[in-house]
Amino acid sequence: MEPDKTRIIRVRDVMHKGIISIDGMATTREAVQKMKENKVFSLLVNKRHADDAWGILVSQDIIKGAILPGRSLDEVNVYEVMTKPVITVPVDMDIRYAVRLIYRAGIRRAPVEEKGELVGMISLIALILDENVF
């Protein structure tokens, strides 16, 4: 079936609604276990307080920050290797603009925000594989 080129596709239409999070004080071993259990490659890192920013931990962060330097996954905390602050995408943004934002920021995925709350996750690879997007 040919996608409707006249309809504007919004981030909300294609985002993954589940967000898996972790505390920044957790070890990277705990993070790896959580990623395996949930079959994901990234975790949202919780805010420490209301004025704090969200963080994100992706599998490449663990590789670069713990595995390649030869550090034990039990010795490295999430906060040491995560990216913070995280770039978020508005839920009502046109998907074309969201793709540009994510690509130009040099990231592969971003949390989706609605009214100050994170409601989902969007990834470039999922968008490419979604036959209804492009």
The model's pLDDT over 41-70, given as tens digits with 9 standing for 90+, comes to 999 999 998 889 999 999 999 999 999 999
pLDDT at 97: 93
pLDDT at 3: 54
CATH topology of domain 11-129: CBS-domain (3.10.580)
Q: What is the pTM of this model?
A: 0.83
Q: Under 8 Å CB-to-CB from 118, ≥6 apart: which residues?
A: 19, 44, 54, 88, 111, 112
Nearest in space to 78 (alpha carbons), one of 110, 46, 117: 46
Check if the beta carbon of residue 88 is closer than 8 Å to that of residue 54. yes
Residue ranges of domains in the chain = 11-129
pLDDT at 46: 93
